Amino acid sequence: MNKSSAKRRPVGLAALRGFESAARHLSFTAAAAELNLTQSSISRQIATLERQVGKALFVRKTRALLLTPAGQLLQQAVQQALAGIDRSVDAIRGEGGAQRVTLSTYASFASLWLVPRLALFQRLHPGIEIRLDASDRVVDLQAEDVDLAIRWVPTGRVPAHATLLIDDVLAPALSPRLLQGRRLQYPAELAQWPLLDLDDGVPGAKRLNWTTWFDFAGAGAVEAAAGRLVFSFVDQAVQAAIRGQGVALVRSPFLQDCLASGDLVMPFAQLRMPCGYRHVLILNPEVARRPHLQAFVAWLNEQFAQAPQLEA
């Protein structure tokens, strides 16, 4: 066999499901759990696939897994192909097949808001399986066979067919252990603790930061006397604030939950800055009328309606 024919030989299909799961979660461990395999099995599948395609598909770091450009290209093709296969299998199975809702949303929303509530939905609807794609990648719902997406979008760029879930506001919040019962008089006093901020690469971070909020609060330029801690994900900053590591700018709907639980307090309740962003729900029109999907959407809207409210 010459080299050109070897390059054209199709890759084995067995590893593609493992690759798709690992690429979606950016975790071999999560992929193994989803597919009921061992982590070493997923690692071997990926290694075999990389040998077959002749390029690395992942960048393996100490605590992170990233897709290479080749991996991103293959992920898009594999997701679309597997989605088509799954649709065909569902059609063959008919109504007797498993009822599944596939939801795409960004990782911080999944970990802070959605996942803690999913147990309630599963108790109400044990026959409906939830498959969660938690990543910051914007998916094509129809091409990738995803039922719905919860997205965080600028107010002026909300898709026409999207349903509003909440208009976001932003406010400083910190652990009550830091305040120890004290009442702050001026916004600048917050700088006595580390200011927890987001990296500029995080969507919205360049506008929703401490400089912007201090201007909004009329405090002007405030020096971070106790320093700053910068995070790559919203949930990291919120969890750091809960642990008492500093003061975070927390936005809806996470702010409401953290205040209601008592994990955080809002020392300047009246200084809530409009974000200019909204959380919206987008449905795949091809499956929007399926009863199990409608049940999930109704439950989701109910959760937002019943969520804790910010006091005036």
| Mean pLDDT score across all residues of the chain | 88
Position 27, amino acid: S
CATH number given to 3-81:
1.10.10.10
pTM here?
Answer: 0.69
Q: Which of 10-24, 101-115, 193-207 has the highest mean pLDDT?
A: 101-115
The pLDDT tens digits of the residues spanning 39-85 come to: 888 998 999 899 989 999 999 887 778 999 999 999 988 888 887 77
pLDDT of res. 85 = 79
pLDDT tens-digit map of 76-126: 888 888 877 776 776 665 555 568 899 999 989 999 999 999 999 999 999
Q: What is the CA angle 8-9-11, rounded to 5?
A: 120
Domain ranges of the chain: 3-81, 96-165+278-306, 167-275
| Cα 83 from Cα 283, distance rounded (Å) | 16
- The CATH superfamily label for domain 167-275 reads Periplasmic binding protein-like II (3.40.190.10)
Which listed CATH number (3.10.20.740, 3.40.190.10, 3.40.50.150, 3.40.630.30) goes with 96-165+278-306? Answer: 3.40.190.10
The phi-psi region of residue 278 (left if phi > 0; otherwise alpha if psi is between -120 and 50; otherwise beta) is beta
Asked whether the beta carbons of 248 and 238 are under 8 A apart, the reply is yes
In CATH terms, are 3-81 and 96-165+278-306 the same topology?
A: no
Neighbours of 244 (CB within 10 A): 12
Asked whether the predicted pLDDT for residue 170 surpasses 90, the reply is yes
User: Which of the 8 DSSP states describes residue 202?
Assistant: S
- Tell me the three state secondary structure of residue 114: helix
